[in-house]
Chains A and B, each alone.
Chain A
């Protein structure tokens, strides 16, 4: 299985290289090659999902090296295990891994007819992106993680910059530089984590392994690291910020918050999402944003839990502002794609709220919601792409009653919107409800405000449905292009590849909504192992250093979490 994981990660890379080496291929052949590669990758990742041991929190499918460390040695650093090519999946990573391989199939279908020029390069870039994303979720080594993390930028830069809309140059450069700026700060944070671990761990080990770092950092008892004072108890802001956990948290936060994106760091998102080709938007919203959430969980929450705890009130406030701001901005859009893009800001706010509330229930919900958001937003962007290919506009004011022209498409769009709007019975509900329920036990006021975001979400999505789907048929017939309004008979029905791309997402939207248990079963143990390192509720406020980190095994994680996650009136 360890081999299969490596093969799954590298298969798209090989497919992409094959496409690059055959640039004379026409777009028809290229798309079949890309489809075959993504389907094979999806099949392999489904095998991995099947082979995954439910209930085991540790990383599975990891290759055990001869020296007892996971993975193959890659670059020796000092006397320790060094930087290693170590891959493995725990429950959280597995879910996102599978989501990525599924959305890649969708994005190939999204590009099926729209990309005709320089198609081999385009599909090669998509496949490179897939390798980057799969490798990122499967990395068990911080440097490897970072390499894949940065590597995703390069194909996306070209996907947006070469195949995007009219503003593509500005969008790709903005996206590239914005993300790069944040991620270099993250690199500094990662280096700082390694330094801290190296300095305080006994015996001194220089390790780059994510599980070892997580474990080692939580065992450090030095007061400098383990004890973090909340802002209220600090003498000054700078004293608060210079505490190791807070400072490193903020460094790590810089890159991931831009990826997510959290409220003040979201400005690159609408531009990039709108200008990207459909497949690019699907992947940006579906997977790339999850990278930020995954990073929060893997690094910020797991490795600097005390820093997260003391910063949580501010982080929750930012998340809630993002929820409301994103929803209100989405409400004001007339362009469908922009609307979906801003809805992402709002929904990712929910995920951040769930993560930073630091209860098992809310973090669990946030992880599931990452999957859900990937599915629903991926489907929404794909629907927008379907629409755009037929009418070459995304202005809601210029269309209406599409139901009459494309009933199947209307069904897809309604289902995806309802999933996104967290209608009970669909996936958004089973993700957002635990987030709100878990957060309420810690931050009741913020949660109440956030709940308004759900209402607003339903508002803008249904408003969009009302304009686009219902009402009298109004098609943008290309006034001024010489086409009459009767020409709309030329609008082709929904094609097989569009159905093939959307159907699995919609099926999963319904399945997760009706029966989320298998998904939670895989996610929860891994989340539990992270949540178990959180300080007990209120410990952040305490001045007793020895209360800060619950020793593993002392208090069963489940018991600890059940307590903090109880929904009680404050």
Chain B
């Protein structure tokens, strides 16, 4: 970076970061409350008090997000440049809407956490949940590689710790340890990939990287793609390792089943929903925006690119996830494999968004379909994990068989859980079906050369949906078709409202998907069109000049 004198930070921009700031501070407050006023109180009473206090965090985020609507237009928006803090963080509709989604998921996770006593350190636990949410929010908004990496680490480190929080269970410690070891290796590789990318392009801004790549492609006259570009390919592969770990995509998924099974149910839910959601958005930003010139062609001999790699990962991920889920008896472990499988479906959507031939205002619809899928998946998965929390509270274990007979004992919640399972299968009239259909229909708009490959992937995804029906149906069978004399008892409020809310969302957005689809489309279009301001001299702008000698060096290596 040239040591120019940057303009002082415009503090009015901090308004756009208020959700993150609020949650950070509120986490500190929770810590202090737990060790201060509540010191010496028994665990369960602190759980209730700190948990209720923690709920104020996401509620405050909602209030902050709704404030501009109440205050009328112009209070927060109106700025033509949606980036903040020297263009490193976006304050676009994507960030705003996903802040809302993350806050909602956080509230559900906090609710589940209040169901039973699995730890003594409630202040630290809830603070970690909140700070993980901060990481996710920044990750979704990141427009620069370093911010992206820092946000990713903030999120994951909080989750490493939270996964190991059930200290009297060895599985929980194992979960945290495995997550940590795999995660730190993946992070190191990811960082290495980012450094290569910086070396190649001379900038860490996503839009700057895109510009440099477009320019160098134009200079060499080659079509997009990575063929012959060894360093570029290495960078892409390493970046995919990092994201693959976060998404639990095959072959970087090995940590997921053990971690999901061992960690307390709310933490597993948080890893499966929030962490996956934020990482996939970041992945889409990096791949679809910054590295789009390296996408390469799907068909034909001309230039391979990351599209082919992602296609292979997607196919392997969904197939392996579904087949492995078939053999599971534990609810959380089954959901872990199911979340692996869903990551595969979403990668198919990412591919479709890359090769789409849509242009103009509808260009982002394919990416919007993926975001829609992502939101629906996250909500339903958190709801399903709430069932695991319920079992863990009542029975101390969470096998699928422990759900036996709940259809008779708590018919309302059982119906809601059934709706969640149907939505995860992708059966109409639930939102799972609409989101799958919207994503897979994007094949229609795929590039002609990529269409057959994509159709193949979609066919594979549908076959996989059939396979997935087998293990989700096992939950249905346990709920309604079996009887049992052991019961987890009535569900506590913290468990029941996330389940009901998720089921309502699954049915509501299944019958009337238009509002969410539209907002996701506008979020996606904001995500894909974000550009740096046309580099005024006083901005620490990327130095595109630096790229030319580097890519020249590349050419010599070839």
Contact = CB atoms under 8 A, between A and B. Distances in A.
A78 B514 CA distance: 13
A75 B434 contact: yes
B469 interface: yes
A150 B433 contact: yes
Interface string A148-176: 10110110011001100000110011001
Given A75-B434, A147-B428, A188 B459 contact: yes
Nearest to B521: A76
A198 B427 contact: no
B464 to A, nearest CB: 9
Interface in A189-221: 191-192, 194-195, 198, 206
Contact of A172 (B438, B481, B517): B481
A177 B473 contact: yes
Interface in B386-429: 411, 422, 425, 427-429
What DSSP secondary structure best describes chain B's contact surface?
helix
B198 interface: no
Contact of B458 (A162, A173, A191, A198): A191
Given A180-B469, A184-B463, A147 B429 contact: yes
A74 B517 CA distance: 11
Given A154-B422, A195-B444, A76 B455 contact: no
Contacts of B184: none
Given A75-B513, A161-B480, A147 B466 contact: no
Given A154-B427, A191-B458, A177 B513 contact: no
A151 B470 contact: no
Contacts of B24: none
A4 to B, nearest CB: 22
B429 A78 contact: no
Given A157-B476, A184-B463, A185-B462, A79 B429 contact: no
A191 B427 contact: no
A154 B517 CA distance: 25
B33 to A, nearest CB: 42
B230 interface: no
Contacts of B428: 146-148, 150-151
A298 B477 CA distance: 34
B45 interface: no
A153 B427 contact: yes
A406 interface: no
A29 B545 CA distance: 81
Nearest to B358: A78
Contacts of A194: 441, 444
A209 to B, nearest CB: 15
A184 B428 CA distance: 11
Given A158-B480, A161-B480, A168-B481, A191 B473 contact: no
B437 interface: yes
B339 interface: no
A184 B438 contact: no
Contact of B514 (A75, A158, A172, A177): A75
A78 B459 contact: no
B362 interface: yes
Interface string B81-101: 000000000000000000000
Contacts of A169: 477, 481-482
A187 interface: yes
Given A177-B473, A184-B463, A191 B441 contact: yes
What DSSP secondary structure best describes chain A's contact surface?
helix
A77 interface: yes
B195 interface: no
B81 to A, nearest CB: 30
B445 interface: yes
A77 B369 CA distance: 10
Contacts of A158: 480
Contacts of B466: 177, 180-181, 184
Contacts of A76: 514, 517
Contact of A192 (B362, B455, B473): B455
B131 interface: no
Given A184-B463, A191-B458, A79 B470 contact: no
Contacts of B462: 184-185, 187-188
B207 interface: no
A406 to B, nearest CB: 34
Contacts of B437: 143
Contacts of B469: 176-177, 180-181
A55 interface: no
A171 to B, nearest CB: 10
A78 B433 contact: no
Interface string B450-470: 010001001100110110011
A79 B362 CA distance: 8
Interface in B511-543: 513-514, 517
B443 interface: yes
Nearest to A23: B411
B514 A198 contact: no
B443 A195 contact: yes
B474 to A, nearest CB: 9
A162 B479 CA distance: 11
Nearest to A251: B459
A162 to B, nearest CB: 6
A75 B358 CA distance: 18
B243 interface: no
Contact of B481 (A147, A154, A161): A161
A157 B477 CA distance: 10
A191 B451 CA distance: 13
B285 to A, nearest CB: 24
A78 B362 contact: yes
A300 to B, nearest CB: 18
B34 interface: no
Contacts of A148: 428
A146 B437 CA distance: 11
Nearest to A144: B428
B444 A176 contact: no
A244 to B, nearest CB: 11
B517 A162 contact: no
B503 to A, nearest CB: 14
A376 to B, nearest CB: 31
B513 to A, nearest CB: 6
A77 B441 contact: yes
A162 B480 contact: yes
A147 B477 CA distance: 22
Indicate the member of B425, B470, B481 with the most A CB atoms within 10 Å. B481
Nearest to B448: A199
B365 interface: yes
Contacts of B149: none
A173 B362 contact: no
A514 to B, nearest CB: 41
B440 interface: yes
A181 B464 CA distance: 10
B440 A191 contact: yes
B479 to A, nearest CB: 10
A161 B428 CA distance: 20
Contacts of A191: 440-441, 443-444, 458
A222 B85 CA distance: 55
A144 to B, nearest CB: 9
Contacts of A154: 422, 427
Contacts of B476: 157
Contacts of B473: 173, 176-177
Contact of B465 (A23, A146, A184): A184
B429 A162 contact: no
A551 to B, nearest CB: 27
Interface in A36-70: none
18 contacts: A23-B411, A78-B358, A78-B362, A79-B362, A150-B427, A151-B429, A169-B477, A169-B481, A173-B481, A177-B466, A180-B427, A184-B466, A185-B463, A187-B462, A188-B462, A191-B441, A191-B443, A206-B444
Top 9 A-B residue pairs of the complex, sorted by shortest distance between their CB atoms = A147-B428, A181-B466, A169-B481, A184-B462, A150-B428, A161-B481, A180-B469, A184-B466, A188-B462
